[in-house]
Amino acid sequence: MKLSVPIHHLKRRAKLLHRRERIPLHAALDRIAAAEGYRSWNLLAARQPVASAAMALYRRLEPGDLVLVAGRPGQGKTLVSLALAAEAARAGGRSAYFSLEYTPGDVVERLRALGFDKGELEGFFDLDCSDAINADYIGTALATASTGTLAVIDYLQLLDQRRDTPELSRQVRDLKALARERGLIIVLLSQVDRSYDPAAEPFPDRTDIRLPNPVDLRLFDKMCFLNGGDIRFEIAA
């Protein structure tokens, strides 16, 4: 949900309201948040890094891109990617979310936590949590997708978990070809290796991507690394 003005302006309004009406600051903050469509100030503040990261990423994407979004558990990969897909749909485009990690109920719950109602995205946002998801499956599902459609895959390391699926390196090549040939934007979420130490480096990088099976990371056009609510972009070489 987009704020009417930057968050620091809202804080200023809350302080003025606090002084003018002599109410506790937390009550003033909650009232300002309510005017923006949030139940509380804490909820408004918590969602802004996710929304900001999603918008920053969305502005950098182009049809034909294969994109990697990576981070450690709990750093917001799923929320950022859902916000990205939902915003693409709200902007009048189409988006699809393929998850091998979550159930449909899990995804809908996370959409609601971001302030999105799946009903308002009906016809623009497709959700698929099938156990059969792989590159071939996604290619079939997106056979009629229009240019610029954004597809998120959650997540890279699960694509070849079944014995009857092609090797991961081939699937990534196929997804790259699909994006280029159809003019789609395909975003793959990825785990980061446990050896990455945020105390030593502010962001993970491509050397920290957990790859149980080989993948040529040069296939990705763009990479995005998340840590502590911040985001770093990298154009893949």
pLDDT tens, residue by residue, 198-231: 888 999 999 999 998 999 999 999 999 998 777 8
Pick from 181, 105, 111, 101: which is nearest to 133 by CA?
101
- Cα angle 92, 98, 102; round to 5: 120
Does an H or E element contain 227, and which? strand 222-227
Strands lying side by side in the sheet with 185-191: 125-128, 95-99, 150-154, 185-191, 66-71, 222-227, 230-235
Nearest to 205 by CA among 217, 187, 188, 219: 217
In this prediction, residue 36 carries a pLDDT of 85
Reading the block at residue 207, the tokens are 């050397």
Pairing status of strand 230-235 against strand 222-227: antiparallel
Report the C-alpha gap between 37 and 33 in whole angstroms: 6
- Give the span between the Cα atoms of 115 and 118, in whole angstroms: 10
Mean pLDDT of the chain: 89
Cβ contacts of residue 161 below 8 Å, gap of 6+?
100
How much is the pLDDT for 50?
74
Predicted TM-score (pTM) of the model is 0.81
Residues 133 and 97: beta-carbon distance below 8 Å: no
Q: Angle, nearest 10°, between helix axes 104-113 and 77-90?
A: 80
pLDDT on residue 8: 67
For CA atoms 89, 54, 207, 194, the dihedral sign is negative
pLDDT of residue 175: 98
The two beta strands, 95-99 and 230-235, are unpaired
Using CA atoms, how far apart are residues 132 and 100, in angstroms rounded to an integer?
A: 9
- Cα–Cα distance for residue pair 135/8, rounded to 1 Å: 43
Residue stretches of the chain with pLDDT short of 70: 1-2, 8, 42, 45-48, 237
Dig out the tokens for 195 from the structure.
């050896």
